[in-house]
Amino acid sequence: MIVFWKDPVYLRIRKRIHCWIHPYRSLIIGGILMAFISGGVSSGVPILLKELIDKVFAKKDPQLLFVLPLSFFVLFSVKGFTGFFQAYLLKKAALFMISDVRQSLFEHLIRMPLASFGKEGTGHLMSRVTNDTYILQGGVAEIIRDLLRNSFTAVGMLVALLYIDYKLTIFVLLAVPLTLIPIRKIGKKLRMVSRRTQESYGDVNQHLSETLSAIRLIKSVASEEKEIRQFREFSQAYAKSQFRSAKYENLLSPIMESIGALGIGLAVWLGGYSVIHGHLTLGTLVGFLTAAQMLYQPIKGLANSQAGIQQSLAAAERIAEVLERPLEEMNVARSGWTVSRLEKSLEFRNVSFRYPVSSSITLENISLSIPSGDFVAIVGPSGSGKSTLVNLIPLFYHPTEGEILWDGKNLQDADIRSLRNAIGMVTQDVILMNQSVRENLLYGLDRPVSRLELEEATKVANAFGFISSLPDGFETRVGEKGVFLSGGERQRLALARVVLRDPTLLILDEATSALDTESEYAIQKALEVIMKNRTTIVIAHRLSTIRTARKVYVLDKGKIVEEGSHEELMRTDGGRYQKFLNLSLGLAPDPGENSPKRSE
């Protein structure tokens, strides 16, 4: 049999597996001890059976007639209870160990850089946290339990065989090496198939996650049938992978049965010949055949354990792949400075950026300076790099070239946690948890907030009125992603959350672009209060938001092409800013209006 501790995958991730097991080593050692006792007492069955036939039935020994039944009772009782405690101890170790692995996996995922999440779908990552850990749990509990029990039972039966008749034992063992060939070949197939099966499950999970997240879009374009067909394809691919895994898993059983029958057949032939010619007693032969049968059962079980071992190793490998991905550095960096209130300026100095999966540059040689307390606007066509630019400030992404300076200090050397606590961001797509209004407002705050402060913050954000009208006020649950609230109400909750955080830098990324006039007006009034004495960067298309900015930066194809106040830029005839506003307000001339007419 191929021992898993020589497996290349196990050798690569064994340190991590040992770390998972280490806290529960006492439980596992206890399980091993129980398995050892269970396997040892099992070897007594054929020996007692030999004595029963040869001495009680053949020689009619009355004393052994009372001793042997009691011995059988004690033996099977010990075997049963040790089997129970072995299963109990290993199951407990497995459940708590996998709970730790699942927690470590979640903590690692949530601490990875934002850029890492674009490389793999949410459903695939969820599959690693749920399905892969579940498979690994089964491997630790059931597979190790069976592995230990069958190993010790096989050793015990081998000892019993040697004790009963060592010559017959050699014939029985001739068939054992034959088991190595199918185990090796089928084990390799199982590893590959198991990994593909888990990846197929990830595809199903990914499609389900995307479908439920985009259910409004799907229904708005009547695309239900298309999604049903795609899900069926993923589901059938997963079922086919499971079927292939089951095929290889169950193929071992008949092979092991045939090999076992060959060994026992040799023993019957040689043993029967010896009994007929008086070289062997009937009790010895019966005891030997019983031990031989009991030997092949655990060997067969060890072979069948290969399926679970390969599935567990594939799951452990996929989990380890995630745990080996680099984390986002949240602690104080090398220079050890903590971001506080912006006192002087925020400066971009020759900043360029390229997304890891993109061949083209997104931002090129950006240089700008925003004085503390200033209000600037960033405008430009879609895809010009506006959102990317502001996402570099909280270091969601790191500049490819150049540096961003906070009061003259490079943000690359800052404590990211303190940096993000100093920034308040409100985007077009407000993220709300499926919790109460109060819990959403307090999300991310690490300080106590009084009811009065909560109400004051919502009044500043023009949110107190609609919150008061909700069925349970601040305790009303908002639904997944705030589905029970309107777009304007969600935006005002986001603004109130910013007020409670009291950031020194406020970033508004298209915060009012999707709102109706009434909702926009309410939010604009709230912003006038929130932006006082606060450095503010606004990405917007609406003139009402842009014109009050002290300075406007116009981006196009990742470059700053114009800058100045609204009035200054409007005086530049034919400038990019004028064209941008004309397009945004619908004032641009129809491209086909002055085009030459076709001749008739």
CATH of the domain at 96: 1.20.1560.10
Nearest to 554 by CA among 537, 572, 569, 535: 569
What is the SS3 assignment for 297-318?
Answer: HHHHHHHHHHHHHHHHHHHHHH
SS3 content of the chain, % helix, strand, coil (to 5): 65, 10, 25
Residue 505 pLDDT: 92
pLDDT at residue 507 greater than cutoff 60: yes
Phi, psi of 589 (to 5 degrees): -65, 150
Indicate the pLDDT class of residue 520, thresholds 50, 70 and 90: low
Q: Is the dihedral of CA 54, 60, 65, 69 positive or negative?
A: positive
d(CA 144, CA 4): 11
Residue 390 pLDDT: 92
Q: What is the mean pLDDT of residues 583-588?
A: 58
pLDDT at residue 590 greater than cutoff 70: no
CATH of residue 439: 3.40.50.300
Cα within 13 Å of Cα(269), Cβ side: 8
For residue 135, being part of any structural domain is answered with yes
For 348, the 3-state DSSP assignment is strand
- For residue 374, is it left (φ>0), alpha (ψ between -120 and 50) or beta? beta
Cα within 13 Å of Cα(497), Cβ side: 26
Indicate the pLDDT class of residue 514, thresholds 50, 70 and 90: low
Residue 591 pLDDT: 41
pLDDT at residue 56 greater than cutoff 50: yes
Nearest to 386 by CA among 398, 395, 378: 378
Same domain, 321 and 458: no
Whether 425 and 404 have beta carbons less than 8 Å apart is answered as no
For the chain, the domain total comes to 2
Residue 515 pLDDT: 58
d(CA 260, CA 262): 5
The neighbouring-strand residues paired with 423 are 505
Residue 597 pLDDT: 39
Helix ranges restricted to H, 324-432: 386-391, 416-421
Q: What is the mean pLDDT of residues 568-591?
A: 71
For residue 595, being part of any structural domain is answered with no
Higher pLDDT residue, 63 or 3?
A: 63
Residue 204 pLDDT: 85
For residue 359, being part of any structural domain is answered with no
pLDDT at residue 348 greater than cutoff 90: yes
pLDDT at residue 97 greater than cutoff 50: yes
Same domain, 183 and 307: yes
Residue 367 pLDDT: 93
pLDDT at residue 60 greater than cutoff 50: yes
Nearest to 7 by CA among 17, 223, 388: 17
Same domain, 321 and 433: no
Residue 365 pLDDT: 92
Write down the pTM of the prediction. 0.72
Residue 502 pLDDT: 86
- Tell me which of 2-6, 13-17, 291-295, 425-429 is least confident: 2-6
d(CA 532, CA 545): 15
Indicate the pLDDT class of residue 593, thresholds 50, 70 and 90: very low
Residue 368 pLDDT: 92
The neighbouring-strand residues paired with 553 are 378, 563
Contacts of 31 (CB under 8 A, 6+ apart): 85, 86, 89, 90, 93, 144, 145, 148
Mean pLDDT rounded to a whole number for the chain:
81
Helix 44-51 and helix 282-323, axial crossing angle in degrees, nearest 10? 170
pLDDT at residue 586 greater than cutoff 60: no
Residue 1 pLDDT: 43
- Domain-ending residue, one of 307, 327, 347: 327
Residue 516 pLDDT: 62
Contacts of 263 (CB under 8 A, 6+ apart): 171, 172, 173, 174, 175, 176, 292, 296
d(CA 145, CA 90): 7
In this structure, the strands spanning 375-379 and 363-371 are unpaired
pLDDT at residue 588 greater than cutoff 70: no
- Domain-ending residue, one of 298, 327, 356: 327
Contacts of 297 (CB under 8 A, 6+ apart): 150, 153
Indicate the pLDDT class of residue 573, thresholds 50, 70 and 90: confident
Domain extent at residue 273: 4-327
Residue 266 pLDDT: 78
Same domain, 433 and 323: no
- Tell me which of 174-188, 361-375, 529-543 is least confident: 174-188
Choose from 92-96, 328-332, 589-593 the range with maximum mean pLDDT: 92-96
For residue 315, being part of any structural domain is answered with yes
Same domain, 114 and 259: yes
Structure tokens at 283: 């009790």
In this structure, the strands spanning 559-564 and 551-556 are antiparallel
For residue 531, being part of any structural domain is answered with no
For residue 474, being part of any structural domain is answered with yes
Higher pLDDT residue, 182 or 414?
A: 414
**Predicted confidence (pLDDT) per residue in 464-504, tens digit:** 888 999 999 999 998 887 888 888 888 888 888 888 888 89
Share of the chain above pLDDT 70, in %: 91
In this structure, the strands spanning 409-410 and 401-406 are antiparallel
- Domain-ending residue, one of 311, 327, 343: 327
Residue 161 pLDDT: 81
Residue 346 pLDDT: 92
pLDDT at residue 584 greater than cutoff 70: no
Residue 245 pLDDT: 80
Q: Which long-range contacts (CB under 8 A, 24 or more apart) does 165-173 make?
A: 165/271, 165/280, 165/284, 165/288, 168/267, 168/270, 168/271, 168/288, 171/263, 171/266, 171/267, 171/270, 172/263, 172/264, 172/266, 172/267, 172/292, 172/295, 173/263
Same domain, 176 and 323: yes
- In angstroms, how far is CA 448 from the centroid of its own chain? 32
d(CA 296, CA 154): 8
**Predicted confidence (pLDDT) per residue in 169-224, tens digit:** 877 777 777 777 777 777 777 778 877 887 888 888 888 877 877 776 677 677 78
Residue 404 pLDDT: 93
For residue 110, being part of any structural domain is answered with yes
For residue 333, being part of any structural domain is answered with no
Same domain, 110 and 246: yes
Structure tokens at 403: 């540096």
- Tell me which of 180-194, 339-353, 398-412, 424-438 is least confident: 180-194
d(CA 248, CA 195): 14
